[in-house]
C-alpha cells in the first residue's frame, strides 16, 4: 500500500468525488420496482442534456466496449458496407467489432497522433459504398487526439446521406464540447468511468429515430446487447437484465455535481487542465504525441525519451502517488499518458507537474525547479481567461 495520497492520472477509471463514492454504498433497491424506475427515468432525462440530444438515451450495464458492440449489432446486418475511420487503438477496436459480426468494413486509418482529415474521409466515401454506416471516434484515448466530429459528420451527411453515423464518444463526452443533435449523429456511446466521475460498469448509448428504423431490419446476431430490448424495458422504467444498481446510485449524484457546475464550466475546466498538462510536459522537455491542433483536453500523450529509464521514472512517480498510463498497441513502451478528465482540477494537475519535476530532478535530469508548475499554471489561467 502506498502511504501517499494517490493522484490517479489515467484516462479512466477516474477518481471519484467522495459523495459519488458514498452513493455506491447505498442499500440495494428492487430493480423491477418503482424506486428504480424513478431513478432511471431521472438519470436518462439528465443524460440527454449532457449529450445535447432529444434522442433516446439508453443505459446498458457493460464496459464501454459493450456500448460499441451494442451499436454494431443493433443497427447493422452482415454484409453491410461500413467505413471505419480510425486514428488509433480504439478506432481499430470499433472496426474489429464490426468485422467480427460480418460487416464489410473498409478501414480508413490515419497516422497515430493525427486527427482524421475530412477531405480524405470524403474521398473514401465517394470511392466506395453504398455505405450503411460510418464509424468515428470522438476522442482517441490511445493517441490523445480529439477528432473534428462536426466536420467529419458534415462530410458524411453530404456525400453519404443514408449512412448512419456511429460515434465512440467514450472518453470525451461530458468533458469537451459535443453536440449529438446539432451535428446529426445517429448513435453516440459513452462510458461511466470517464468524464462522468463514476465507477466503471455503465455505458450510455444515444439513438436517433433513423437508427431505430435501421434496428427494425438489422440482422446481426444479438442478445444481451440488443438495444431494442433495452428501449422496450426503459419505457417500463426497467432494464432487460439486472443493472449495476450501485453505479446508477453513483451516477445520480455525479450528475447533480455536474449540473451544479454547469456544462459550460465543465468544458472550460477541461480546456484549462488540458492546456496546463501540455505546457507543463513541454517545459519538462517531453515531446507530445498529438498534432497540437487536435490535442485532447481529456488525455495527453508524451514520448518517453530514449535516455530515460521508464521503470525507474515510473517507480518514483508511483512512490509519490502519481499514477499515469502507458502506451497502447504500437505505442506500448514508447509513450506515457496523463489522464485529465472528470474529477480533476487545475491544482491536481499542478501537483502532478510538481511530482514529475521532482522525480526528473532526482534522476539527475536538467530540470529547473518550479518551471513546469509555473508554465502549467500560466497556461491554465490563460485558458480560464484569468490574468495571471
Strands 299-303 and 145-146: unpaired
- Grid coordinates representing 218 are 438489422
Q: Which of 12, 201, 243, 301 binds ligand PLP (CB under 6 A)?
A: 12
Cβ at position 157, least distance to ligand PLP in Å: 23
Euclidean distance between CA atoms 334 and 312, whole angstroms: 15
> Taking CB under 6 A as the rule, does residue 225 contact ligand PLP?
no
Sign of CA dihedral 235, 208, 296, 332: positive
If binding is defined by CB under 6 A, does position 384 make contact with ligand PLP? no
**Position 204 contacts ligand PLP (CB under 6 A):** no
Which residue among 14, 61, 146, 171 contacts ligand PLP (CB under 6 A)? 171
H or E stretch including 73?
A: helix 64-75
Of the pair 79, 329, the CB lying nearest ligand PLP is at 329
The answer to whether residue 205 forms part of the interface with ligand PLP (CB under 6 A) is no
What b-and-e string marks burial along 354-367, b requiring 16 or more CB atoms within 10 Å of the CB? bbbbbbbeeeeeeb
Nearer to ligand PLP, 196 or 249 (CB): 196
Q: Considering only CA atoms, which of 204, 207, 234, 199 is closest in space to residue 60?
A: 204
Helix axes 346-362, 310-319, angle to 10 degrees: 130
What's the length of the chain?
388
Applying CB under 6 A, which of residues 24, 113, 174, 191 lies at the interface with ligand PLP?
191
Q: Please state the closest distance from residue 90 (CB atom) to ligand PLP, in A.
A: 4
Q: Which is nearer to ligand PLP, 169 or 360 (CB)?
A: 169
User: Can you tell me which of 90, 110, 225, 294 binds ligand PLP, judged by CB under 6 A?
Assistant: 90
Residue, CB closest to ligand PLP: 64
For position 238 contacting ligand PLP by CB under 6 A, the verdict is: no
Q: Is 69 in the site for ligand PLP (CB under 6 A)?
A: no
Rounded distance between C-alpha atoms, residue 275 and residue 57, angstroms: 31
Instruction: Decide: is 14 part of the binding site for ligand PLP (CB under 6 A).
Output: no
What is the sign, positive or negative, of the torsion defined by CA atoms of 318, 323, 326, 328? positive
Name the segment binding ligand PLP (CB under 6 A); options: 165-173, 248-256, 260-268, 331-339. Answer: 165-173
Size of residue set near ligand PLP by CB under 6 A: 12
The CA distance from 114 to 333, in Å, is: 19
* Beta carbon nearer to ligand PLP, 144 or 218: 144
The three-state secondary structure class of 60 is: strand
The DSSP element (H or E) to which 388 belongs, if any, is none
Segment lying near ligand PLP (by CB under 6 A), choices 61-69, 207-215, 308-316, 376-384? 61-69
* Rg of the chain, C-alpha, whole Å: 21
Rounded to an integer, what is the distance from CA 112 to the centroid of its chain? 17
Residue tagged 427494425 (cell numbers) = 216
One residue of 137, 190, 300, 377 binding ligand PLP per CB under 6 A: 137
Q: Are strands 133-137 and 81-86 parallel, antiparallel or unpaired?
A: parallel
* 59-67, 155-163, 258-266, 335-343 -> range binding ligand PLP (CB under 6 A): 59-67
Q: How far is CA 141 from CA 87, 89, 194, in A?
A: 10, 8, 11
Nearer to ligand PLP, 50 or 90 (CB): 90
330 binds ligand PLP (CB under 6 A): no
Q: Which stretch binds ligand PLP (CB under 6 A): 75-83, 120-128, 154-162, 166-174?
A: 166-174
User: 288 near 300, Cβ under 8 Å?
Assistant: yes
Instruction: Provide the binding-site residues for ligand PLP, judged by CB under 6 A.
Output: 12, 63-65, 90, 137, 139, 141, 168, 170-171, 191
Amino acid at each position: 500500500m502506498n502511504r501517499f495520497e494517490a493522484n490517479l492520472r489515467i484516462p479512466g477509471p477516474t477518481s471519484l468525488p467522495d459523495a459519488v463514492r458514498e452513493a455506491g454504498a447505498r442499500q440495494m433497491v428492487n430493480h423491477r420496482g418503482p424506486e428504480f424506475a424513478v431513478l432511471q427515468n431521472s438519470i436518462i432525462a439528465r443524460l440527454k442534456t449532457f449529450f445535447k440530444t432529444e434522442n433516446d438515451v439508453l443505459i446498458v450495464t457493460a464496459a464501454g466496449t459493450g456500448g460499441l458492440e451494442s451499436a454494431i449489432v443493433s443497427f447493422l446486418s452482415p454484409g453491410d458496407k461500413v467505413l471505419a475511420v480510425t486514428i488509433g487503438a480504439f478506432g481499430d477496436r470499433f472496426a474489429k467489432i464490426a468485422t467480427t459480426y460480418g460487416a464489410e468494413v473498409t478501414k480508413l486509418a490515419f497516422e497515430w497522433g493525427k486527427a482524421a482529415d475530412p477531405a480524405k474521409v470524403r474521398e473514401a466515401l465517394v470511392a466506395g459504398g453504398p455505405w450503411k454506416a460510418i464509424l468515428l471516434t470522438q476522442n482517441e484515448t490511445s493517441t490523445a487526439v480529439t477528432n473534428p466530429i462536426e466536420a467529419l459528420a458534415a462530410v458524411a451527411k453530404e456525400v453519404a446521406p443514408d449512412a448512419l453515423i456511429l460515434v465512440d464518444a467514450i472518453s470525451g463526452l461530458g468533458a469537451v464540447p459535443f453536440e449529438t443533435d446539432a451535428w446529426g449523429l445517429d448513435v453516440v456511446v459513452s462510458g461511466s468511468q470517464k468524464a462522468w466521475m463514476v465507477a466503471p460498469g455503465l455505458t450510455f448509448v444515444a439513438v436517433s429515430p433513423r437508427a431505430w428504423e435501421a434496428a427494425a431490419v438489422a440482422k446481426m446476431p444479438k442478445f444481451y446487447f440488443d438495444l431494442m430490448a433495452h428501449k422496450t424495458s426503459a419505457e417500463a422504467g426497467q432494464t432487460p437484465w439486472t443493472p449495476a444498481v450501485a453505479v446508477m446510485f453513483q451516477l445520480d449524484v455525479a450528475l447533480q455535481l455536474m449540473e451544479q457546475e454547469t456544462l459550460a464550466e465543465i468544458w472550460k475546466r477541461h480546456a484549462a487542465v488540458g492546456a496546463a498538462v501540455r505546457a507543463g510536459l513541454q517545459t519538462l522537455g517531453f515531446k507530445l504525441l498529438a498534432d497540437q491542433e487536435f490535442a485532447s483536453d481529456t488525455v495527453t500523450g508524451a514520448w518517453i525519451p530514449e535516455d530515460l529509464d521508464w521503470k525507474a521514472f515510473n517507480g518514483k512517480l508511483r512512490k509519490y502517488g502519481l499514477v499515469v498510463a502507458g502506451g497502447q498497441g504500437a505505442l506500448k513502451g514508447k509513450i506515457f499518458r496523463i489522464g485529465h478528465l472528470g474529477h480533476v482540477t487545475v491544482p491536481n494537475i499542478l501537483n502532478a507537474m510538481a511530482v514529475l519535476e521532482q522525480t526528473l530532478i532526482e534522476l539527475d535530469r536538467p530540470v529547473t525547479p518550479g518551471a513546469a508548475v509555473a508554465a502549467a499554471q500560466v497556461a491554465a489561467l490563460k485558458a480560464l481567461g484569468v490574468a495571471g
